[in-house]
């Protein structure tokens, strides 16, 4: 292929008030060839995946990078849709259950680890893992508190919503979409991802790589007061019932709140903008929910809810810090493992694997 492929950046999991929560179901990829890269931190899994992704993109293949929610510079998986191949980095901290749920080819990078070089650092590695667990627990506690404040904000502001105006506005968009979505006589499917995630670097948003090339982009400008949660669920159901396979991107603060819907077959996307996240996209249509809020009622409660929002962000900052500290201790482990690896053998496995997925002899 002469043209370069595209890279889509998503998260299969995020730090949430429930801990690290994996929203994407790898098992939903039917007839996909899976490769699972096993190995401790620092054994070269992300280097392997990024090298693979770069080479495939250079050859014209589109790929999806699944980023790590502790450190988004690392990858949890790479998916190549045209080849129907997925590589998953087995991570003891995040995706413990993946190897037991998929039939896959295992690439064990620990085989190239000199255990004699690791043994002197065994206690330090165990201690670092314990600190990682404690840091992630601290982060979860702060995210639990942030979630409580988030829900309290929604509860406090609920009386401010002009319900009739909101329903009328929702129906206008729903009617527009219903008119352009024909029935293809099958039941569609939905895959769920995080378009942005809570990480050690703060909120990381890759939405522009997900919907940037859609020809029709509907932007819904909501406030936290007037949520589009019910509307997006209706739109999701509409596409599924009409027979379309769609991608849904949910909020890490509410796993039942869809904030982006991508319909690849129609080159269409619906995305949400609010106080927490503002998509960097160029919409073709804008629906603004600000007109559905009773300003007089909101003015009465504006001071306490403003304090709640500041507290919400303060709690998030504390969670980010603990996630970052978890990553620092994982980095200590990576240094020990990396120094004990024989990387020359990994290069050979990489070349063999690349030829296999591309069908070369």
> Which residues pair with residue 204 across a beta bridge?
197
CA-based torsion, 191, 39, 331, 92: positive or negative: positive
Which of 14-23, 86-95, 188-197 is the least confident region?
Answer: 86-95
Question: Cα separation of 352 and 221, whole Å?
Answer: 49
Count H helices and E strands in the chain, helices first.
9, 16
> Which residues pair with residue 197 across a beta bridge?
204
Tokens, residue 186: 């099958």
DSSP class of 94: T
> Across residues 192-199, what is the average pLDDT?
95
Quick one: pLDDT at residue 200?
Answer: 96
Residue 99: is its pLDDT beyond 50? no
Residue 78: is its pLDDT beyond 90? yes
Quick one: pLDDT at residue 91?
Answer: 67
Backbone phi and psi for residue 167, each to the nearest 5 degrees, phi listed first: -65, -40
Residue 360: is its pLDDT beyond 80? no
Report the run of H or E that residue 96 belongs to, with start and end.
Answer: none
Residue 135: is its pLDDT beyond 80? yes
H helical segments located in 181-222:
207-211
User: Residues 233-288: pLDDT tens digits?
Assistant: 999 999 999 999 999 999 999 999 999 999 999 999 999 999 898 888 899 999 98
Backbone phi and psi for residue 239, each to the nearest 5 degrees, phi listed first: -65, -40
Q: Which of 213, 168, 194 is nearest to 276 (CA)?
A: 194
CA angle 83, 86, 89 (to 5 degrees): 155
User: Residues 207-229: pLDDT tens digits?
Assistant: 889 997 899 999 999 887 888 99
Backbone phi and psi for residue 132, each to the nearest 5 degrees, phi listed first: -55, -50
- The residue written with tokens 């909501």 in the block is 222
> Across residues 318-327, what is the average pLDDT?
98
Residue 94: is its pLDDT beyond 70? no
Are β-strands 105-108 and 85-89 bridged in parallel, bridged antiparallel, or unpaired?
unpaired
Residue 95: is its pLDDT beyond 70? no
Residue 72: is its pLDDT beyond 60? yes
Backbone phi and psi for residue 158, each to the nearest 5 degrees, phi listed first: -55, -40
Residue 185 pLDDT level (bands cut at 50, 70, 90): confident
Quick one: pLDDT at residue 361?
Answer: 47
User: Residues 113-122: pLDDT tens digits?
Assistant: 999 999 999 9
Q: Which of 82, 83, 114, 92 is nearest to 36 (CA)?
A: 92
- The residue written with tokens 């060839």 in the block is 33
Q: Which of 298, 167, 137 is nearest to 230 (CA)?
A: 167
User: Residues 7-61: pLDDT tens digits?
Assistant: 999 999 999 999 999 988 877 777 888 999 998 898 999 999 999 999 999 999 9
Quick one: pLDDT at residue 93?
Answer: 52
> Which residues pair with residue 268 across a beta bridge?
216, 263
DSSP helix, strand, coil percent of the chain (3-state; round to 5): 50, 25, 25
Question: Cα separation of 76 and 70, whole Å?
Answer: 10
Quick one: pLDDT at residue 279?
Answer: 87
Residue 346: is its pLDDT beyond 80? yes
Quick one: pLDDT at residue 291?
Answer: 85
Q: Which of 48, 58, 56 is nearest to 83 (CA)?
A: 56
Question: Cα separation of 13 and 61, whole Å?
Answer: 24
CB neighbour burial string for 190-208, b if at least 16 within 10 angstroms, e if fewer? bbbbbbbbbbbebebbbbe
> Across residues 350-359, what is the average pLDDT?
87
User: Quick check: 63 and 39 in contact, CB under 8 A?
Assistant: no
Q: Which of 239, 264, 267 is nearest to 81 (CA)?
A: 264
User: What does pLDDT average to over the chain?
Assistant: 91
Is 68 strand, coil or helix?
coil
Quick one: pLDDT at residue 7?
Answer: 94
User: Quick check: 36 and 205 in contact, CB under 8 A?
Assistant: no
């Amino acid at each position: 292929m002469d043209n370069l492929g595209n890279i889509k950046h998503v998260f299969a999991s995020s730090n949430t008030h429930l801990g690290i929560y994996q929203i994407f179901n790898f098992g939903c990829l039917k007839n996909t060839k899976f490769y699972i890269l096993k190995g401790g931190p620092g054994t070269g899994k992300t280097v392997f995946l990024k090298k693979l992704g770069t080479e495939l993109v250079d050859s014209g293949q589109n790929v999806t990078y699944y980023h790590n929610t502790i450190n988004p510079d690392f990858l949890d998986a790479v998916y190549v849709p045209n080849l129907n191949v997925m590589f998953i980095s087995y991570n003891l901290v995040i995706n413990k259950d993946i190897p037991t749920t998929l039939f896959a080819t295992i690439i064990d990078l620990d085989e190239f680890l000199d255990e004699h070089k690791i043994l002197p650092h065994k206690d330090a590695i165990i201690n670092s893992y314990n600190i990682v667990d404690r840091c992630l627990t601290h982060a979860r506690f702060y995210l639990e508190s942030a979630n409580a404040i988030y829900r309290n904000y929604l509860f406090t502001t609920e009386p401010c919503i002009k319900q009739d105006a909101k329903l009328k506005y929702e129906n206008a968009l729903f009617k527009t979409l219903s008119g352009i979505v024909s029935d293809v006589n099958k039941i569609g499917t939905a895959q769920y991802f995080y378009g942005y995630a809570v990480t050690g670097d703060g909120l990381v948003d890759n939405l522009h790589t997900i919907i940037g090339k859609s020809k029709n982009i509907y932007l819904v400008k909501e406030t936290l007061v007037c949520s589009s949660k019910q509307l997006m669920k209706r739109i999701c159901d509409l596409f599924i019932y009409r027979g379309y396979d769609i991608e849904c991107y949910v909020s890490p603060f509410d796993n039942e709140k869809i904030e982006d819907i991508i319909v690849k077959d129609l080159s269409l996307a619906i995305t949400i903008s609010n106080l927490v996240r503002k998509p960097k996209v160029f919409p073709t249509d804008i629906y603004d929910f600000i007109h559905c809020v009773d300003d007089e009622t909101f003015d009465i409660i504006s001071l306490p809810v403003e304090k709640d929002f500041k507290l919400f962000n303060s709690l998030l900052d504390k969670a980010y810090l603990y996630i970052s500290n978890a990553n620092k201790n994982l980095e200590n482990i990576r240094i020990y493992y990396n120094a004990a690896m024989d990387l020359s053998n990994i290069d050979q496995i990489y070349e063999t694997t690349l030829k296999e997925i591309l069908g070369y002899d």
